[in-house]
């Protein structure tokens, strides 16, 4: 851990994240294993999606599919998290996605807890601190044509996010937009404050990914979890449509690789 912490790769990732708000880490899932993981993720998303295809979207994905679990604590990534968050980083959200053929461009936004449409949010102007790291695990290649996520470099340095009815229109096109591109097995990283959007998929193939978000131990994740007092009081009582993260049943947690357990122990549902 200590040697990875100061590796040239980690320093480069940190510097790029700080400058641009996003970057790429290559090969966090080995090339000889990605096909099996992709097949499992794709099948689980198609089976459990809460949105109609071609947009597959499954929150609390770990309760349905654990094929990504062996990679979640990759030491190269943990070394980055260590520098960003200190001790005890954890997973805040884990979502399986398919952006299928015909998917259109989405609204430009920052992610929770900076998304100003959420009931549980850090109100803008927000402080200059990384509080949630979005990692886009590429199950297929991410290309311009198949809708590699659109990001606006440097937008994480703003202390506000796009919102309907303001001059920062979520439907607008923004200068400098780029798309996350990488090979299957690579992981795109971005600061949750970085403005981004779904990009159109103009191919005939599905773009499959798992979005894993990592946070420091001190960030309150309870508003994301249906059934908690925080979710009832802050989200439901205010008719919010905040992101949600369903818990991991104890029986599934017990079978996870040991390396993944410290990242998700806070999500256990002890009742099943
Ligand atoms: O799937 C993508 O490319 C982007 C997803 C996204 O913007 C989000 O989940 O916040």
pLDDT in tens, 90-131: 999 999 999 999 999 999 999 999 999 999 999 999 999 999
- The total of structural domains in the chain comes to 1
Give the pair of three-digit tokens for residue 126: 């927000």
Residue 185 within a domain: yes
Nearest CA to ligand 1 atom 7: 197
Q: How close is the Cα of 141 to the center of ligand 1, in Å?
A: 15
268 within a domain of the structure (yes/no): no
- Asked whether residue 85 is domain-assigned, the answer is yes
Judge if the beta carbon of residue 196 lies within 6 A of ligand 1.
Answer: yes
Radius of gyration of the chain (CA): 18
58 strand-pairing partners: 96
Ligand 1 atom 1, closest CA = 198
What pLDDT is stored for residue 79 in this prediction? Answer: 96
Could you tell me whether strands 268-269 and 22-25 are parallel, antiparallel, or unpaired per DSSP bridges?
A: unpaired
Query: Residue 96 belongs to what domain range?
Result: 2-263
CATH number of 59's domain: 2.60.120.620
**Residue 269 located in a structural domain:** no
Within 10 A of 61 (CB to CB), how many other CB atoms are there? 26
Asked, for residue 271, whether it belongs to a domain, the answer is no
- Ligand 1: does its nearest atom lie under 6 Å from the Cβ of 211? yes
CB of 149 within 6 A of ligand 1: the answer is yes
3-class DSSP state of 238: helix
Residue 3 is predicted with a pLDDT of 47
Residue 95 alpha carbon, nearest atom of ligand 1:
9
pTM here is 0.96
């Amino acid at each position: 851990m200590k040697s990875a912490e100061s590796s040239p790769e980690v320093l480069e990732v940190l510097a790029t994240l700080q400058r641009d708000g996003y970057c790429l880490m290559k090969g966090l899932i080995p090339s000889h294993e990605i096909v099996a993981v992709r097949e499992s993720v794709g099948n689980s998303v198609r089976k459990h999606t809460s949105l109609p295809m071609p947009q597959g979207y499954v929150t609390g994905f770990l309760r349905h599919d654990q094929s990504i679990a062996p990679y979640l604590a990759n030491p190269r990534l943990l070394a980055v998290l260590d520098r960003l968050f200190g001790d005890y980083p954890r997973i805040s959200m884990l979502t399986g996605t398919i952006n299928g053929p015909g998917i259109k461009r989405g609204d430009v936004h920052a992610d929770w807890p900076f998304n100003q449409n959420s009931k549980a949010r850090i109100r803008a102007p927000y402080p200059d601190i990384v509080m949630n790291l979005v990692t886009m695990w590429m199950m297929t290649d991410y290309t311009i044509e198949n809708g590699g996520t659109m990001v606006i470099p440097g937008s994480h340095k703003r202390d506000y996010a796009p919102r309907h009815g303001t001059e920062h229109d979520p439907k607008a096109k923004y200068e400098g937009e780029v798309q996350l591109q990488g090979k299957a097995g690579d992981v795109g990283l971005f600061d949750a404050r970085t403005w981004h959007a779904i990009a159109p998929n103009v191919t005939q193939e599905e773009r499959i990914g798992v979005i894993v978000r990592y946070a420091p131990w001190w960030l309150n994740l309870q508003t994301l979890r249906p059934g908690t007092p925080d979710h009832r009081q802050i989200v439901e009582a205010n008719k919010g449509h905040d992101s949600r993260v369903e818990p991991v049943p104890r029986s599934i947690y017990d079978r996870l690789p040991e390396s993944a357990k410290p990242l998700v122990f806070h999500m256990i549902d002890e009742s099943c």
